[in-house]
Amino acid sequence: MATDIKTAADHGAQLKALLAQQGILIAFIVFTIGFAFSSDRFMSADNLMTVLRQAAIIGTIAVGVTVVVIGGNLDLSVGSLLSFATVLVVDLHDKIGPAPAMLVMFVATMGIGAITGFLVGYLRLNSLIVTLGMLSAIQGIVLIYTGGQNVDIREQDGTWFAVFGRGYVFGIATPIVIFLGLAILMEIVLRRTSYGRKVFAVGGNPTAAVFSGINRSRMVFTTYLISAFAVGCAAVIMGSRVMGSQNNVGQGYELLVLAGVILGGTSLLGGSGSVLKTVLGVLILAIIQNALILMGYPYYTQWLVTWVVIILAVWLDVASKRGRLFTTFN
Amino acid sequence: MQQLKQLVLTQPIWLFVIAITIFFSFGSPHFLDVQNFKNILVQTSTIGLIALGMTFVMINGNIDLSVGAVVALSASLAVGLQSEVGILPAVVVALAAGIGLGFVNGMIVWKTGVDAFIVTLGAMIGVRGLVFLYTQEQSFFATNFAYADFGMSAVGPLPTLAIIFLGFAALMHWILTSTIHGRNTYAVGGNREAAINAGIKVGPHMVVNFMIVGFFAALAGVTLSTQMGAATPNLGRDFELWTITAVVLGGTKLAGGSGSVIGTLGGVLAIGILRNGMNLMQVPAFYVLVILGVILIAVLFIDRQVGRKGAQELRT
């Protein structure tokens, strides 16, 4: 009998550990099954592809932001940067051709990422305020560049640029390929390379990382380059899908992206997290959105559900580490 | 001279306010008009009111990202309900909604131990959902002209909205500097553990401050809707960013434990004067965004350098 009880307790502990570590995966499965019962159309391959496709832009950016957050910083400038990159690539498309336009866009976007990275990494300024300042400054630059006008691509049918937003690779929509491809690549970089280990080290314990001979400034700097690169990829999808761009197309994206990252269990304190879990976090938000619309609720219902889901997810995470549900201080 | 040095070290933003005031008075002949200063006060009152509450929450070491959504909710309630229940009850409901949401935010932060940034990020998204749910995506217009007249009214020489803003600024300054609640605000932000050990009821204290910022966001929603005589569901977008910018410009630290209402007032005026002055000089509004972004980062940099110097002086 005694062994039985012990085993039961072990099972309990195991279950707790599993919930704590893989909570987001379990939540993902629960949501998917739940929605599958609530609407016949939800589980169709077409619909699931639509969900992935809609999540691709936010998801691609979230991959980059996850790296920044693991490194112990925030990036609120990604929304403005998405506007900047999309406007630039769309505007230059007709002027200098698709390939040069993309090249210039990536250089310019990562150039801005380098400025942010320099301010946060080398000057050690608070990342929340720096990227808040960059958010405002970049939005201003976009408006100055466009003169407040929206931009578009004239010859929409004749350009191979369409492949990124509207095309397919081996039968899978290109945005999904870009999103998941970048996610898998970054997961490998973070888990399997010394670069990835250093990012975790810098975010987890900066002082210890410096004593281990890691160049903290350079590591933080590079996380912002990665974030800007991811924004560039998202801009290619966005520009190609819409074949045009409003000058505030990315407004508010920074917080939706952050919601996905947080839901994926990446700690805002840095040092822990996972790109693949961020993907699940973004997908959960996209699935909720999709299912609520299929069930006939107005689109803004998803915001109310998101509110509850985000706080519950982080609460469970915090509570499992604390060992109790509520805080004890008065 | 010593006092000037003290001002530069403690309130660098006021030096900046004085500098741009002098600059714009040369740049535009209309800038120094009394009427223009009234305009600046009215224009800044919206962000200014929210910033008063945000100062308390940020000195506490917390943050509130949901203020923009609360502005939209309270404006919609105040304008939407007034045809049924009358102006005053509608405004009371709007303010109560803001205080109530602040209570919810505060209780979650206290009881769950989830970081305020995450709690209020969730609320920012969710409360916007409440706004759309209540308004059904419609804009509301005030049918009673008395409501819009209030936004335009003046008491003696000063616009009513400016008086409300400055009055509350004085009140919050007094609370922060001269009451137990104010002292606790610094104590909790400076070292939460120590505050708990000192017997301060940290949880209820933080809840009160979230209710204060909720009240001010709701009040800003009401005053903003009196200026327009209307409310739209997308009102207040980005207000959280502007408010945080103003508070940080005013010298409040994100980590908590330091900050002042006087500084926040300077931060709010700096933004207001820049916008107004560049407008008068016919600089496109786009440039203001760039300049504000650069100034925010520059202030952060200078602040750190000054702080370093101060620390060195202490050591020697």
From CA A104, how far away is CA A96, in angstroms rounded?
10
Note every long-range contact of B159-165, with CB atoms under 8 Å and residues 24 or more positions apart, other chains counting. Answer: B159/B38, B159/B41, B159/B42, B161/B41, B161/B42, B161/B45, B161/B223, B161/B226, B161/B227, B162/B38, B162/B41, B162/B42, B162/B45, B164/B45, B164/B49, B164/B219, B164/B223, B165/B41, B165/B44, B165/B45, B165/B48, B165/B49
Q: What is the pLDDT of residue B1?
A: 67
Mutate to test the interface with A, among B297, B299, B302, B303 (most CBs of A within 10 A): B297
Closest CA to A48 of A65, A61, A31, A64: A31
The answer for B 135-154 residues in CB contact with A (under 8 A) is 137
From CA B27, how far away is CA A184, in angstroms rounded?
55
From CA A77, how far away is CA A175, in angstroms rounded?
22
Residue A146: what residue type? Answer: T
Q: Are B75 and B234 in contact (CB under 8 A)?
A: no
Predicted TM-score of the model (pTM): 0.90
Of all helices (H) and strands (E), which one includes residue B243?
helix B239-249
Nearest to A139 among B203, B204, B289 (CB): B289
3-class secondary structure, A276: helix
Residue A247 falls within a domain, yes or no?
yes
Q: What is the pLDDT of residue B17?
A: 92
Residue A305 falls within a domain, yes or no?
yes
3-class secondary structure, B159: strand
Q: Are B228 and B295 in contact (CB under 8 A)?
A: no
From CA A167, how far away is CA B80, in angstroms rounded?
46
* Beta carbon pairs, A and B, within 8 Å: 152
Q: Which domain holds residue A158?
A: 41-317
Q: What is the pLDDT of residue B316?
A: 46
Tokens 């009850």, residue located: B89
| Inter-chain touch A133–B112, beta carbons under 8 Å | no
Higher pLDDT, A242 or B207: B207
Contacts of A100 (CB under 8 A, 6+ apart): A92
pLDDT tens, per residue, chain A with 330 residues: 444 555 655 666 676 666 666 777 777 788 788 887 777 777 788 888 889 998 999 999 999 999 999 999 999 999 999 999 999 999 999 999 999 999 999 999 999 999 999 999 999 999 999 999 999 999 999 999 999 889 988 877 778 898 898 889 888 899 999 999 999 999 999 999 999 999 999 999 999 999 999 999 999 999 999 999 999 999 999 999 989 899 889 988 998 899 999 999 898 889 999 999 999 999 999 998 888 888 889 999 999 999 999 999 889 888 888 888 898 887
- pLDDT category, B312, cuts 50, 70, 90? low
Q: Which residue from B minimizes the CA distance to A139?
A: B289
Residue pLDDT, tens place only, B240-260: 989 999 999 998 988 889 999
Whether A321 has its CB under 8 Å from any CB of chain B: the answer is no
Whether B92 has its CB under 8 Å from any CB of chain A: the answer is no
Q: Are A138 and A84 in contact (CB under 8 A)?
A: yes
Average pLDDT of span B166-182: 97
Sign, CA torsion B30/B46/B299/A252: negative
Instruction: Flag whether pLDDT at B306 surpasses 50.
Output: yes
Instruction: Determine the distance in angstroms separating the CA of B156 from the nearest CA of chain A, rounded to an integer.
Output: 37
Inter-axis angle of helices A301-322 and A2-38, to 10 degrees?
170
Give burial (CB, 10 Å; 0-12/13-18/19+) of B66. buried
Mutate to test the interface with A, among B13, B101, B112 (most CBs of A within 10 A): B112
| Inter-chain touch B300–A125, beta carbons under 8 Å | yes
Q: Structural domain boundaries of chain B?
A: 33-310
3-class secondary structure, B154: strand
Complex ipTM value: 0.88
- pLDDT category, B119, cuts 50, 70, 90? very high
Q: Are A58 and A183 in contact (CB under 8 A)?
A: no
Nearest to A137 among B132, B284, B290 (CB): B290
From CA B219, how far away is CA B169, in angstroms rounded?
13
CATH code of A188's domain: 1.10.3470
Residue A237 falls within a domain, yes or no?
yes
Q: Which residue from A minimizes the CA distance to B207?
A: A330
Q: Which residues on A lie below 8 Å from B202 (Cβ)? A: 329-330
Instruction: Determine the distance in angstroms separating the CA of B243 from the nearest CA of chain A, rounded to an integer.
Output: 11
Q: Which residue from B minimizes the CA distance to A252?
A: B238
- Tabulate helix, strand, coil % of chain A (nearest 5): 75, 0, 20
| Inter-chain touch B241–A136, beta carbons under 8 Å | yes
Nearest to A304 among B124, B129, B202 (CB): B129
Q: How far is CA A39 from the centre of its chain?
A: 28
Instruction: Determine the distance in angstroms separating the CA of A154 from the nearest CA of chain B, rounded to an integer.
Output: 26
Q: What is the pLDDT of residue B128?
A: 95
| Inter-chain touch A133–B294, beta carbons under 8 Å | yes
Q: Are B27 and B267 in contact (CB under 8 A)?
A: no
Instruction: Flag whether pLDDT at B41 surpasses 60.
Output: yes
Residue A235 falls within a domain, yes or no?
yes
Structure tokens given for B61: 């070491």
Q: What is the pLDDT of residue A3?
A: 47
Average pLDDT of span B126-135: 96
Structure tokens given for A230: 């991811």
Q: Are A152 and A267 in contact (CB under 8 A)?
A: no
Query: How distant, in Å, are the alpha carbons of A84, A110, A146, B270 from that of A90?
Result: 10, 17, 11, 36
Mutate to test the interface with A, among B64, B65, B109, B300 (most CBs of A within 10 A): B300
| Inter-chain touch B121–A262, beta carbons under 8 Å | yes
Residue A272 falls within a domain, yes or no?
yes
The CATH number for B33-310, chosen from 2.60.40, 1.10.1060, 1.10.10, 1.10.3470, is 1.10.3470
Q: How far is CA B212 from the centre of its chain?
A: 11
Structure tokens given for A269: 């304190």
Computed over every residue of chain B, the mean pLDDT equals 91
From CA A317, how far away is CA A303, in angstroms rounded?
21
Q: Are B168 and B49 in contact (CB under 8 A)?
A: yes
Residue A182 falls within a domain, yes or no?
yes
Count up the domains in chain A and report the number: 1
The answer for B 175-234 residues in CB contact with A (under 8 A) is 196, 201-204
Q: Are B112 and B118 in contact (CB under 8 A)?
A: no
Instruction: Determine the distance in angstroms separating the CA of B108 from the nearest CA of chain A, rounded to an integer.
Output: 9
